[in-house]
Structure 1
Amino acid sequence: MDHDFSLILTFVGGLAAALLFGLIARKLHLSPLVGYLLAGVVVGPYSPGFVADSHTVEQFAELGVILLMFGVGLHFHLKDLIAVQKVAVPGAVVQISVATVLGVLVGWMFGWSAISGLVFGMAISVASTVVLTRVLEDNQNLHTPGGHVALGWLVVEDLFTILLLVLIPAVMEARQSGAGDWGGILSELGWMFVKLALLVALTLFAGKKVIPLVLRYVARTGARDLFTLAVLVIALGVAVCSAEFFGASMVLGAFLAGMVVGQSDFCARAAAEAMLMRDAFAVLFFVSVGMMFDPMSVGDCWPLALATLGVVMIGKPLAAYVVVRCLRRPVPLALSVSVALAQVGEFSFILAGIGLMYNILPPDANQAIILAAVVSISLNPILYRQIGPAVKWLQKRGIGFADPGGVNSMALPAPDARRVVLVGFGPTGRILKRILNDNGVEVIIVEMNIDTVTAIREQGGDIVYGDASQREILRHAGIEYAESLILSASIPDAKEIVGVALELNPHIDVMIHTKYMRDVDILKEAGASQVFSSESEVALSMAEYFLREGGADDEQIVSERQRIRAELDREMPGVSVAGHS
């Protein structure tokens, strides 16, 4: 019996190449996406050796895009956007507009039509969610003000992309069907929006009334494989129905399916179950993009590639930086957001693919976008790590660190008052402030989140807005007269903050909260008096609970706690572990 192995060979060959080049990319401290794109080049028709079947890869890639958009919908939360809307919404709109205009100018330079330049500009205006999230995580900035703004910014870009994925095919199909005049196009668009409204209404209804019931019924069976299957059927089923019955793209249907499941009680589990399938097919999507790249075309399209890189790595971040600064946010936040967005990724390829499908973009445009993606994604983590040194260089020269709008123009307590400077006002900081205030200690807060600063100032609290690693910010908080400096959250710049604080007040007592015990020695060497490790505190609290439940009395628990504290102090002098006295 003869077998056609083309499908399995393509699947295995594509994944194997992606694994190999993804590992190489990680070894070189690059994003795995770079490896996946290069894997596509190697197994593509323009390279010697094994050639994957392009049609089969495209089918797998289509599944990857659907599951990718389902994941985007799962993690789409309007409240995340609302929390940073004052910066993310105007910032993303301005940056997308600037990048689009620059794309039109690039198209004009190379003799393209206005519509070609417009689609090209919109394609390179959006950044990669995968790359941005990884860069923020690697630099421990995902849960910082800059990280929150960047993620909110991406939400706006995602919504913009979804809109384009609906509009571009509708407009082009209206033109190709003979409705070339504006009246005909508007009529087609009107009918399309009616169908989309019906699709959204039905999906929202199903998401509220039907899908939760189905998932709850399947979950009660206790069969994990059935739940995974149910999630995949919902994702792919809504995507296919949106295309077959409503004339919308499967990408939009997948996004809507993810969004409604994401609002249910099964969001976290659905995301976990769909993750493996999504990642595998999403990898093949990037491989399929790489397969379209012809290395021999570099000699012909390098001027276009350079112009594209200029827009992506200079025009976009510059626009983002300017708008964030105009919104009176600090230099570190502006640099963090602008550099993180200086790349292109998955949605750029999707939009470029639509442009090629409808003959809007020339083939060279896609080649240039792939080249720009490889270079920008490779350089992005390296550039992001330079933000800290750049901020310090600017700080020493007093560039861009003026107090925005007099937010720090507050009257501090008298120099002889008992005072603590508290850096960070999250849950730990709030509890510390309450306890210290109750015991007659004046607490001056240093916080980077402008919304938190505004709220505390309205309540009459003493709070300084700015980066605690800056000398002038700590001086404004009265660090010279403070008896203690407390870093209540695990802060990436903790070492620098300690150094600046000790320069201004050599006798200050510095207490630091850090997540990891491995950071204790570094912080102690920097001059911290006491370091409180979350890992050791949690371990001790859990051990105390276990001993107490096992019948141990208070004396035994106190003795054990003291023994552990003594051992930790010998192993890592200066580590503190929490306990009940």
Structure 2
Amino acid sequence: MHPSSLIALLVAAFVLAFIFGGVAHRLRLSPLVGYLVAGVVIGPFTPGFVADASLAPQLAEIGVILLMFGVGLHFSMRDLLAVKSVAVPGALVQMAAVTGLGWLLARSFGWSTSAGIVFGLALSVASTVVVLRGLEERRLLDSGRGRIAVGWLVVEDLAMVLTLVLLPALGGGGHSGDLASALLLTVAKVGGFVVFMWLVGRRVIPWILQRVAQTGSRELFTLCVLSIALGVAFGSAELFGVSLALGAFFAGLILNESEFSAQAANETLPLRDAFAVLFFVSVGMLFNPAILLHEPLRVFETALVVIVGNGLVAWATARVIVRDGAVAMLLGASLCQIGEFSFILAGLGVALGMLPKEAGDLILAAAIVSIIVNPLLFLAHDRTQARRARSVPRTVEVMSPPLPDGSMPHVILIGYGRVGGELGPLLVERGVPLVVIDDDAPRVRNARAIGLPAVRGQAANPAVLAEARPADAQMALVAIPNAFEAAEIVKRLREANPAISIIARAHSDAGVRYLLDRGADGAVMAERELAHSLAEMVCALPAFRGGRTLPKASV
């Protein structure tokens, strides 16, 4: 009995992605590069085994659904509305500008105006998978900058849904009345979907999850979460005409209000990672390397529009709207690539006769190049942000309440997010004089609301750090997730007070070593500390604790 094409595809994709991803990691490249190479190897344009190219995009779509569902679980409607003044105009301006650049490039190729517009649109929309993977790796999804980036992606998704609906009417030479009707119908469908999810979904989905959780069955809970993610995504596409990814995002957004949202995110994480790998493998399968030999100049020009055009326009637009260099740099680094919607739009344009076949190959080649380059730009962003934080002047807000009076040494807590927000109140309860530093205004307000003196700004900036009087501090707790920025802060703390004790936060053994090598006295990895805490709980049982007493439980 021969294995089915599905099994053969999964085995080849995962094994080769593991091999080439490991090689890329050893070469200090992103594993994404290895996943793309694995797709090229099993694709129809290279010799040897050829996987079923019709199955890979469908499996990859599941990865996009689960990824957007996970993003929705960490997002809230309040977060989405909070960034609308930046995300909506920013995304629309960026898409319009890059579409114009793509149109100019297409006209230089001798293509028609309609082909140029479709070509430009395909070059203007970023890959949701690539952006979210980059934000997750840097623990930025819950930051203010990350919320703006996610909101930007949502606006792009909505714009592409509208484009995909209107394109057949344009391709068929429809009249203005037909276009207006299609536009109104699309807006009505999307609006109807949002209203339905807000009025019905936000009541029904959490209720179902709560009932399933009460059964105590992990299998049923996992199945329930997957059913909600996939069911809402598929139903939204079939009934309301919105994209699968957008439907899944709203499902997660609604489920975010449930007390089981964290557990739901953990249960879907392994599947999200596995199917995200299949997405990149499927992209590699579509790539014909021969175009690099036949049309190298056109590939270069197209990739230049994608990388430089999207990056610069996103950066410039964000600088004008929010006047925040950190936000602009993150958007510039994360949005300078294209992905899944670009392939869908290119395929539809070719099928309708609006795009030449060569355009589809150029879009795919540019996507491959931009996805490979994107991790390098993210790395440059990390290093630049770390340097900029200490060199660019920044306005420091006056603290309220004031600093400790100096009668006893204080502790500096840098970062008041999920970890710092839990740690701060605990130290306050124990009477530890504490000063908070964070560059996010809502977090600073939260710290001040419980009576903590708080400085708003980037702690790697000497002017900001000086406000917390590091020379008088006994200890500094660096609770931010970015290792590059944390290392710069450690360096600044050491310069201000060589005797200060510094404990930093890490997410891996490599992160622990990186921070220790750069001057931290200790680096705490959450998983290891959790293991120690659980071990302490076991040893506190009467059978094992001997003469020790059970520590007081936290509420």
Report TM bin, short chain.
0.7 to 0.9
Instruction: Name 1:142's counterpart in structure 2.
Output: 140
Instruction: Name 2:344's counterpart in structure 1.
Output: 350
Per the alignment, do residues 475 and 129 of structure 1 end up closer, same or farther by CA in structure 2, a change over 3 Å counting? same
User: Mind listing any 5+ residue stretches in structure 2 that lack a counterpart?
Assistant: none
Per the alignment, do residues 51 and 10 of structure 1 end up closer, same or farther by CA in structure 2, a change over 3 Å counting? farther
The answer to whether structure 1 residue 303 and structure 2 residue 297 are counterparts is: yes
> Within 5 A, what are the aligned runs for 1:118-267?
118-138=117-137, 140-142=138-140, 145=143, 148-165=144-161, 167-175=162-170, 180-194=174-188, 207=201
SS at 2:410 equivalent: strand
1:389-422, CA deviations, whole angstroms, 9 ceiling, x for partnerless residues?
Answer: 43465567x4xx1224x64699987997756362
Q: Is the contact between residue 74 and residue 267 of structure 1 (CA under 8 Å) also seen in structure 2?
A: no
Per the alignment, do residues 352 and 197 of structure 1 end up closer, same or farther by CA in structure 2, a change over 3 Å counting? same
CA RMSD, Structure 1 to Structure 2 (Å) = 4.7
Q: Is the contact between residue 547 and residue 557 of structure 1 (CA under 8 Å) also seen in structure 2?
A: no
TM-score scaled to structure 2, two decimals?
A: 0.77
Looking at structure 1, the residues matched to 309 and 411 of structure 2 have their Cα atoms a distance apart, in angstroms, of 39
Per the alignment, do residues 417 and 224 of structure 1 end up closer, same or farther by CA in structure 2, a change over 3 Å counting? closer
Per the alignment, do residues 497 and 210 of structure 1 end up closer, same or farther by CA in structure 2, a change over 3 Å counting? closer
1:101-147, CA deviations, whole angstroms, 9 ceiling, x for partnerless residues?
Answer: 33333333333344433333333333333333433444x443673xx
* Structure number with bigger Rg: 1
Give the deviation of 1:548 after TM superposition. 4.2
Give the deviation of 1:544 after TM superposition. 4.7
Looking at structure 2, the residues matched to 211 and 272 of structure 1 have their Cα atoms a distance apart, in angstroms, of 18
Give the deviation of 1:272 after TM superposition. 6.3
Instruction: Name 1:420's counterpart in structure 2.
Output: 410
User: What amino acid does structure 2 have at the position aligned with 1:46?
Assistant: F
Of 462, 472, 486, the match for 2:476: 486
> Within 5 A, what are the aligned runs for 1:447-458?
447-453=438-444
Of 21, 44, 61, the match for 1:65: 61
User: What is the total number of aligned residue pairs between the two structures?
Assistant: 541
Q: Percent identity?
A: 35
SS at 2:437 equivalent: strand
Of 353, 357, 363, the match for 1:369: 363
Instruction: Name 1:46's counterpart in structure 2.
Output: 45
Of 457, 460, 464, the match for 1:473: 464
1:286-315, CA deviations, whole angstroms, 9 ceiling, x for partnerless residues?
Answer: 444434332222234333322232233323
Give the deviation of 1:186 after TM superposition. 0.9
Per the alignment, do residues 373 and 421 of structure 1 end up closer, same or farther by CA in structure 2, a change over 3 Å counting? farther
SS at 1:464 equivalent: strand
Q: Is the contact between residue 38 and residue 287 of structure 1 (CA under 8 Å) also seen in structure 2?
A: yes
Looking at structure 1, the residues matched to 38 and 508 of structure 2 have their Cα atoms a distance apart, in angstroms, of 39
Moved more, 233-242 or 45-54: 233-242
User: What amino acid does structure 1 have at the position aligned with 2:146?
Assistant: A
Per the alignment, do residues 37 and 539 of structure 1 end up closer, same or farther by CA in structure 2, a change over 3 Å counting? closer
1:515-549, CA deviations, whole angstroms, 9 ceiling, x for partnerless residues?
Answer: 57957777666555677776676555545544444
Looking at structure 1, the residues matched to 514 and 230 of structure 2 have their Cα atoms a distance apart, in angstroms, of 50
Of 482, 488, 498, the match for 1:496: 488
Looking at structure 1, the residues matched to 319 and 39 of structure 2 have their Cα atoms a distance apart, in angstroms, of 40
Moved more, 382-391 or 532-541: 532-541
Give the deviation of 1:427 after TM superposition. 1.9
User: What amino acid does structure 2 have at the position aligned with 1:296?
Assistant: A
The answer to whether structure 1 residue 550 and structure 2 residue 534 are counterparts is: no
The answer to whether structure 1 residue 290 and structure 2 residue 284 are counterparts is: yes
Instruction: Name 2:5's counterpart in structure 1.
Output: 9
SS at 2:501 equivalent: strand
Give the deviation of 1:24 after TM superposition. 0.7
Give the deviation of 1:468 after TM superposition. 1.9
Instruction: Name 1:565's counterpart in structure 2.
Output: none
Q: Is the contact between residue 67 and residue 254 of structure 1 (CA under 8 Å) also seen in structure 2?
A: no
Looking at structure 2, the residues matched to 154 and 186 of structure 1 have their Cα atoms a distance apart, in angstroms, of 29
Q: Is the contact between residue 44 and residue 290 of structure 1 (CA under 8 Å) also seen in structure 2?
A: yes
Per the alignment, do residues 409 and 306 of structure 1 end up closer, same or farther by CA in structure 2, a change over 3 Å counting? farther
Q: Is the contact between residue 83 and residue 147 of structure 2 (CA under 8 Å) also seen in structure 1?
A: no
Q: Is the contact between residue 84 and residue 149 of structure 1 (CA under 8 Å) also seen in structure 2?
A: no
